[in-house]
Structure 1
Amino acid sequence: MPDALCGRGIPHPGVEVMSHRDLIPPNLLISPDGRLSGVLDTGSFGPVDPALDLVAAWHRFEADDREVLRSRIGSDDAEWRRGAAWALQQAVGLGWYYERSNPPMARLGLRTMARLLAADDLSG
């Protein structure tokens, strides 16, 4: 597994920001025109590595849309890789924890892991 997915060797940004901490698709309200219209489940809101909210990119978007998001928010390589590592940690948990009790959530985790493993921008 590439180090980028494990988070090894990726420097912490040295700052923390207020973060939702659980930006999975069921917590995002999308309007009919495809725009974000609301966010649910803010009970875990608190200070953390700013890359944690990038998990939404991996859960929600395929490669082309992730690249658009990344360029618009200005995520550098280190932040992007930390976001991928956070997404992997969450996706693994979703995949096994919800296997029997919530199969759609488990599938979300498996789909996210597949996106991470296939990502060209994380190789090396």
Structure 2
Amino acid sequence: LISRGRLSAVIDFECLGLGDPAVDLIVAWYVLPDGVRDAFRAALPLDDAAWARGRGWALSIALMELSYYRDKDPRMATVARHVVDEVLVDAARTA
């Protein structure tokens, strides 16, 4: 934040999702294949909004990873692309 043309404060969003169970769902797109992900979701006492937030968290992390690792670590970039694909498939199916 700026005050009188100078930096006066910084907002730290690092713990933005603290306490939100949707953050714990990120693993669904990183680790679980599509069919298993459906069973995982069905077993959880979460609503559609929590699932959508989890999907959004997974997508945002994967996009940042892809941007960072694209030229630095091909293996990590491949993982990030896979997660983006999984998120898009899941979003299209549940839309």
Q: Could you say which TM-score interval applies, normalised by the shorter chain?
A: 0.7 to 0.9
The two structures have a TM-score, normalised by structure 1, of 0.57
- The answer to whether structure 1 residue 93 and structure 2 residue 93 are counterparts is no
How far did residue 70 of structure 1 move?
Answer: 0.8
- Cross-structure match for 2:55: 84
Higher strand fraction: Structure 1 or Structure 2?
1
Note the residue ranges of structure 1 that are not aligned, 5 or more in a row.
1-20, 22-43
Note the residue ranges of structure 2 that are not aligned, 5 or more in a row.
1-13
The alignment covers a number of residue pairs equal to 79
Which one scores higher on RCO, CA 8 angstroms, separation ≥ 6?
1
- In 2, the alpha carbon distance for the partners of 1:107 and 1:85 equals 19
Which one has the largest radius of gyration?
2
Higher helix fraction: Structure 1 or Structure 2?
2
- In 2, the alpha carbon distance for the partners of 1:115 and 1:52 equals 17
Give per-residue Cα distances to partners, 1:79-109, cap 9 Å, x unaligned. 0000001011001011111112221111111
RMSD: 2.0
The two structures have a TM-score, normalised by structure 2, of 0.73
